[in-house]
Amino acid sequence: MKYPMIVHLFLTLFTLLSWQESNAKTIQNELPNIVLLMGDDHGWDETAYNGHPFLHTPVLDEMAAKGLRLDRFYAASPICSPTRGSIITGRHPNRYGTFSPGYSIRPEEISIAKIMKDAGYATAHFGKWHLGPVKADSPTNPKAMGFDEYLSHDNFFELNPHLSRNGAAEQQYEGESSEILIAEAIQFIKKAKEKGQPFFLVIWFGSPHEPYSALPKDLALYDGLPEELGDKLVTLTSNETGYPVERLQRDVLIERFAEITAMDRSIGQIREYLGAEGLRDNTLLWYFGDNGTPQEGNATVPFRGQKGTIYEGGLRVPSVVEWPKRIPKPMISSVNAVTTDLLPTFCALVKQPLPNRPLDGINLLPLFDKQMEERKGTIQFWNGSPRREAAGYSPLDYIEAELQKGTSPLAKLMDGSPTRDFKNYHHPAIEMRDFGGPRAILDNRYKLVIHGDAKANGRRELFDVRNDPGEKTNLIEVEPQIADKLEKQLLVWQQSVLESLMGKDYN
């Protein structure tokens, strides 16, 4: 009697294991792998495919030529941490108090990584986090936000970066930082493939953020830059002292361009690996920048403004998508898209429900399938926090201060410290002054830009960005009705954002 029972148990176990293996392979075959790549301070024109006269970006150029080139892709914010939050949440960063660098995300936010885990994905983050400390006890580190594994930094980094693996004390990794991240990502892909899991990888490069450092072979590519290019002094961080220094912009551009070329080369390394492993066809590889070009790198930007401004130069970034199975032929799109669109797009892709709270992005899958010729609705931008802090109000910490202390060293010193702490605040009832600060609303043709407070003396500018991408001609006197309509829509949206900031979405 024992032997039939043993045989039965063996067959049951064998059947279960076979089913699990088959199910894992089915999931891997049906669900696309996803790799999100983002440059740090990489502006719209800083690729050869967008017409840059000097930069070498052969990998991004090939992706743009073979995949989907998004010519009107926007960062949710003209500065880095807020844009990063928008990718993780599908929401404008002001909704959860990530106003600028140094502000963390909130633990209650629903992360795209958690959603992908629910869909069966292996998840990992590599590189710049900047949404709170990466140490183990931080409630907003990558693991707390849904990533299975991470090798990350609180902030930005250069050659030979110090990185934390899964919250442990930072260790220094020798080499070119972009290539270090890609090598780690490839190891993660190998493990996911062995388990039969699709993978969701977020790789946020430290390049080309200042202070610049690059390999000799990459620097040599730009020795021949024209003498007249960057013939002025710019201020940036000294790698030697950690404090501001003035340098000739041409010398700075050589280093900046070299970092961009190294980052481009590293993207080629992961593309080659995916191809060699037979994973390229069903892997969605998406690259974009987190905000516009900073002041020290601004030499060829064709738009108005730069990093930190809500003009096109601060918000519009390069973006290319490669996914041979879904996008088999080259496409160029002029549809407005933004970093908040990623979460709803991936929810639709893996058939997971959207978070039950206000979102600011839309599903872009119809665009991938040539079924979206223009965006339905507007995109809103709002740079800065409610004005009451400037008026002397001291809000309560949202997260205990000790948990917000950073540990990752970086070259740029602040008050003598090589690390950065984070903050996030509780906010009381909404007041009129909370609606102020630089803000904008973009429809499929016009962009309304408002500076100052929410009263009538706020300065308004209206641009036809389709015909005037440089935002040179203010149409506020010519099209006042269009401006008034857009401003009303912007105010309604701001009200919703402020309600989120006050905690309404977490009830």
For the chain, give every domain's residue range: 32-377, 387-400+427-506
Asked if the 32-377 domain carries CATH number 3.40.50.720, the reply is: no
pLDDT digits over 219-259, tens only? 999 999 999 999 999 999 999 999 999 999 999 999 999 99
> How high is the pLDDT of residue 26?
43
451-472 burial, b for 16+ CB within 10 Å, e for fewer? eeebeeebebbbbbbeeebebe
pLDDT digits over 399-423, tens only? 999 999 999 999 999 999 999 999 9
What distance in Å separates the CA atoms of residue 71 and residue 333, rounded to the nearest whole number? 6
> How high is the pLDDT of residue 429?
86
What distance in Å separates the CA atoms of residue 427 and residue 349, rounded to the nearest whole number? 35
Range of weakest confidence among 94-98, 300-304, 348-352, 382-386: 382-386
What distance in Å separates the CA atoms of residue 312 and residue 303, rounded to the nearest whole number? 6
* Percent of the chain predicted with pLDDT > 90: 89
All residues at 6 or more sequence positions from 480 whose CB lies less than 8 Å from its CB, including other chains: none
> How high is the pLDDT of residue 150?
98
- Options 3.40.50.720, 3.40.50.10380, 3.30.70.270, 3.30.1120.10; which CATH number does 387-400+427-506 get? 3.30.1120.10
Cα–Cα distance list, 31 to 26, 27, 203, 283, 284 (Å): 8, 6, 20, 9, 10
- In this structure, what DSSP letter does residue 94 have? G
> How high is the pLDDT of residue 320?
98
